[in-house]
Amino acid sequence: MSAHKPLLATVLGQRQERPPIWIMRQAGRYLPEYRETRARSKGFLDLCYTPDLAVEVSLQPLRRFELDAAILFSDILVIPDALGQSVRFTEGEGPVLEPLTVQTIATLKPERALDHLAPVFETLKRLRAAIAPEQALIGFCGSPWTVATYMLGGKGSSDQAAARLFALQHPQAFSALIDILVETSIDYLAAQFAAGADVVQLFESWALNLDEVAFAAQVIEPNRRIVEGLRKKVPNAPVIGFPRGAAGMIRAYADATQVNMVGLDYATPLNFAKSNLSPLLGVQGNLDPLRLVAGGEQMEDRARDIIAAFADRPHVFNLGHGIVPQTPIEHVARLVELVKEG
């Protein structure tokens, strides 16, 4: 018998007495030991592709806090890199990619992607051996639309206009790109399970700014195909979907994709989630990361309200988006303690 993992059990639909907790971007710049390891690496992608370093930074938050899961240290943009697109992470600027065109989409190399990602699977294998049996190991990838916004826009943007316009003006080339991302993501996630992941999260960080027709086509359908394709390879694969900004479309997303659990961003009202989502559907979230920066009573009150709102359904405590670099470590310690002990 394998050990009871509260976080995995919750994703699979079993409510726990206290919600298990992990934190999006839990390995990151708010930790001085991360900044130190990062400084020793040759660059951000080198950190992602060097198992010694990636394992080290994945474990750093677990040494400090009583978290219920480790998340693979990597990035959603290793997929464009593995497909042969130029991806660079520049200090202070975020990711910079050579934007794809109708012509260059055809030159992507899905056949080499998995070989290129071999170090990621090695990192997962080593993490599996390093963490406690009760801790879950989370794998992930970016969802096709979100990854495509970077591949087409070349960088982050507040409105994803480049990708939205490309999808409307070049529907065939766009759907060829989405097909490549869907197929590559299925193989990538199946290989993550084979390497020891217990559960995977689909990061759809840019599910906002789409009208309902585009949301159905760009967000719901590709995520649905990934879950379906993945479960053909890994039966009953546990999946958390995080469609950030889905707002009124969250129910349609959950129903159509058949993810086990939905991640709620911090703008999602608790009562809206309770009344719109099936009481059997698990939820993850959704504390505003800035409440964690400010700390104190407002953070504790809101965390308690979130726990109370979801006390009757499977709930994994988390932030409503990634932790930010200026977060004080003592506030994280207090939050974890509160979630564990009330």
Whether residue 48 contacts residue 73, with contact meaning beta carbons closer than 8 Å, is answered with yes
Residue 137 or 313 with smaller CB distance to ligand CP3: 137
Whether residue 305 contacts residue 270, with contact meaning beta carbons closer than 8 Å, is answered with yes
Q: Is residue 171 classed as helix, strand or coil in its secondary structure?
A: helix
The residue from 15, 25, 88, 302 that is catalytic is: 25
* Shortest distance (Å) from residue 322 CB to ligand CP3: 4
* Shortest distance (Å) from residue 324 CB to ligand CP3: 8
Instruction: Decide if 291 is catalytic.
Output: no
Whether residue 148 contacts residue 178, with contact meaning beta carbons closer than 8 Å, is answered with yes
Q: What are phi and psi of 94, to 5 degrees?
A: 80, -170
CA distance 156 to 244: 15
The residue from 34, 49, 75, 164 that is catalytic is: 75
Residue 13 or 156 with smaller CB distance to ligand CP3: 156
| CB burial of residue 182 (10 Å; 0-12, 13-18, 19+) | buried
273: tokens are: 């989630």
* Shortest distance (Å) from residue 323 CB to ligand CP3: 8
The residue from 18, 29, 64, 88 that is catalytic is: 29
Binding site for ligand CP3 (CB under 6 A): 24-29, 38, 44, 71, 73, 75-77, 89, 94-95, 140, 156, 203, 205, 322
Residue type, position 58, single letter: S
Picking from 40, 60, 226, the residue whose alpha carbon sits closest to that of residue 143 is: 226
* Shortest distance (Å) from residue 77 CB to ligand CP3: 5
Radius of gyration of the chain (CA): 19
Residue 200 bridge partners (DSSP): 139, 239
Instruction: Decide if 304 is catalytic.
Output: no
Residue 313 or 321 with smaller CB distance to ligand CP3: 321
* Shortest distance (Å) from residue 312 CB to ligand CP3: 28
Residue 206 or 313 with smaller CB distance to ligand CP3: 206
Q: By Cβ distance, which residue is nearest to ligand CP3?
A: 205
* Shortest distance (Å) from residue 138 CB to ligand CP3: 8
Consecutive H or E run containing 11: helix 6-11
Instruction: Decide if 313 is catalytic.
Output: no
Residue 99 or 322 with smaller CB distance to ligand CP3: 322
Instruction: Decide if 225 is catalytic.
Output: no
Residue 29 or 128 with smaller CB distance to ligand CP3: 29
Instruction: Decide if 38 is catalytic.
Output: yes
The residue from 30, 49, 150, 253 that is catalytic is: 150
Residue ranges of alpha helices (H) inside 44-170 are 44-49, 51-64, 78-82, 102-105, 110-116, 118-130, 144-153, 161-169
The residue from 18, 38, 64, 302 that is catalytic is: 38
Catalytic residues: 25, 29, 38, 75, 150
